Amino acid sequence: EAGVAQSPRYKIIEKRQSVAFWCNPISGHATLYWYQQILGQGPKLLIQFQNNGVVDDSQLPKDRFSAERLKGVDSTLKIQPAKLEDSAVYLCASSPRTTYNEQFFGPGTRLTVL
Amino acid sequence: GQQLNQSPQSMFIQEGEDVSMNCTSSSIFNTWLWYKQDPGEGPVLLIALYKAGELTSNGRLTAQFGITRKDSFLNISASIPSDVGIYFCAGTNTGNQFYFGTGTSLTVIP
């Protein structure tokens, strides 16, 4: 069974630029999560989708971050414009249902903002 | 926001030694999860706990859901080099919000 796929694996941009990350969850998984993991910290949940609807986006900085999951499968996370403090690994995870203990994580995208 | 504090922050142990780490919260949690993260990878679930007092094992790993519901413990027995990594606790609070802990970095010296 293929795991959660993310691309790109690495991205370097300058502050105020825009960036987008892509996630392809495990086939059949209805729930998709985006996390931000700053170096030396645990992952922080940004947004959770159930199919193509948002379940929880309470920790998403909506002034600059946006995410979508239009067809209930792939998802994109965008940052516009990026700030230095956005440098982090962005992890995508998926689960069959809205149960955190069934999450499978992708390898992440490491973003560096200069 | 919610903070799950893990201790110790880092550990350096000899191969074969046992390891203990813990995770504490300022509020009550309904579930506790323990993950391991290797460099360049996402976290992988090790153990899930669902009720206060529960003690669950997975091979050489044992975790407990604290009676107060504000803490959890993870023990690793007879450590081996592949146990190296960062261990995170995580959990859902009474509002069903999900948080990760601050992490414990484990180094095993052969």
Strand order in the sheet with A75-79: A5-7, A19-24, A75-79, A65-68
Closest partner CB to A93 (pick from B1, B42, B48): B42
At CA B31, angle to CA B87 and CA A76, rounded to 5? 70
> Could you tell me the mean pLDDT of each successive run of 10 residues in chain A, 114 residues long?
92 98 96 96 95 92 95 95 98 90 94 98
At residue B1, does pLDDT exceed 80? Answer: no
pLDDT, residue B43, reads: 96
* DSSP character at residue A106: -
Contacts of B100 in chain A (CB under 8 A): 35, 42-44
From the CA of A82, how many Å to the nearest CA of chain B? Answer: 22
pLDDT, residue A46, reads: 97
Q: What is the pLDDT of residues B42-68, one digit of tens each?
A: 999 999 999 999 999 999 999 999 999
Please judge whether A105 and B48 are an interchain contact, meaning their C-beta atoms are less than 8 angstroms apart: no
pLDDT, residue B2, reads: 67
Residue B18 CA to residue B78 CA, distance in Å, equals: 5
pLDDT, residue B48, reads: 95
What are the angstrom distances between the C-alpha of A105 and each of A36, A90, B18, B94? 12, 11, 28, 24
What are the angstrom distances between the C-alpha of B42 and each of A5, B46, B73? 11, 13, 21
Contacts of B48 in chain A (CB under 8 A): 101
Neighbours of A58 (CB within 10 A): 12
Residue B19 CA to residue B86 CA, distance in Å, equals: 13
Q: What is the pLDDT of residues B3-13, one digit of tens each?
A: 799 999 999 99
Token digits of residue A71: 């067809």
For residues B60-78, give the mean pLDDT. 97
Show which of residues 11-50 on chain A sit within 8 Å of chain B, judged by CB atoms.
35, 40-45
Q: What is the pLDDT of residues B81-106, one digit of tens each?
A: 999 999 999 999 988 889 999 999 99
Please judge whether A42 and B40 are an interchain contact, meaning their C-beta atoms are less than 8 angstroms apart: no
